[in-house]
Amino acid sequence: MYSSDNGRAMVIDQSSSQAATLFLAKVFNWMAIGLGLTGLTSLLVASSPALQQAIFGNKILFYGLIFGELGMVIYLSARIEQMSASMATNLFLVYSVLNGATISAILLLYTGASVATTFFVAGGMFVSMAVYGTVTKKDLTSMGSFLFMGLVGILIASVVNIFLGSSMVSWVISAIGVIVFTGLTAYDVQKITRIGSGGIMENGQAAIQKGAIMGALALYLDFVNLFLMLLRFLGDRR
């Protein structure tokens, strides 16, 4: 016998699913905008000897940009609740541009064909794990904690290798990085999906926008780092 309680449960589940889909689409839209800005900025810098000299010929400016990007990510993550939706959006866009300027070096170090090939491989892996994170019924929370520890290990090893300059350590870091960022993609997509179905779409446009920006930043970082790690294996140096 079909009860009214069952009917209400089905309506709620369907509504939550639609909300999650809408929110996830908004996150991916902003992620795509960020990647687009990064790509365009990289091409602009790589095609301008003057910009190359200004950024890579001045260590103070280059490392200033690197630490500035890191500071923006930390600030955005820590202060998202206190800032306006427009400020959060602008910080994300500025970060995307600055990151494009600093990673433009890959277009100078690697052939265009290998960069394009790596981009499509990274894209395929990212989409596959994003789909998995969306449809799986398995709770990936515990996996997220493990991957976060792996990320911390990668950061520490990368800093140490700056002084060691070991090619072998660099290869190991890249191999572990591919695993970590592939897994983080599935974890972050599942987390974003749950946020979307958890009522954020009813909290007003400002909350939706800030939530979408934070989700876009997480997925942006997953994709860019996955791409850079894969480039170590698939890239052909000029």
Residue 120 has pLDDT above 90, yes or no: yes
The angle formed by the CA atoms of residues 57, 173 and 42, to the nearest 5 degrees, is 35
> Taking each helix axis from N to C terminus, what angle separates 49-56 and 4-46, rounded to the nearest 10 degrees?
100
3-state class of 111 per DSSP?
Answer: coil
Q: Give which of 25, 14, 16, 17 is closest to 215, Cα–Cα.
A: 25
Domain count, the chain: 1
Determine the number of helices (DSSP H) and then strands (DSSP E) in the chain.
Answer: 9, 0
Cβ 232 vs Cβ 173: under 8 Å = no
Q: How many CB atoms lie within 10 A of CB 45?
A: 23
**Residue 203: predicted pLDDT:** 77
Residue of 140 and 198 predicted with greater confidence: 140
Asked whether the whole model's pTM tops 0.85, one would answer yes
Tens-place pLDDT, residues 202-214: 778 888 899 999 9
Domain extent at residue 141: 4-234
Return d(Cα 216, Cα 221) in angstroms, integer.
Answer: 8
Cβ 237 vs Cβ 109: under 8 Å = yes
Residue 195 has pLDDT above 70, yes or no: yes
DSSP annotation of 104:
T
Phi, psi of 110 (to 5 degrees): -115, 155
Residue 34 has pLDDT above 90, yes or no: yes
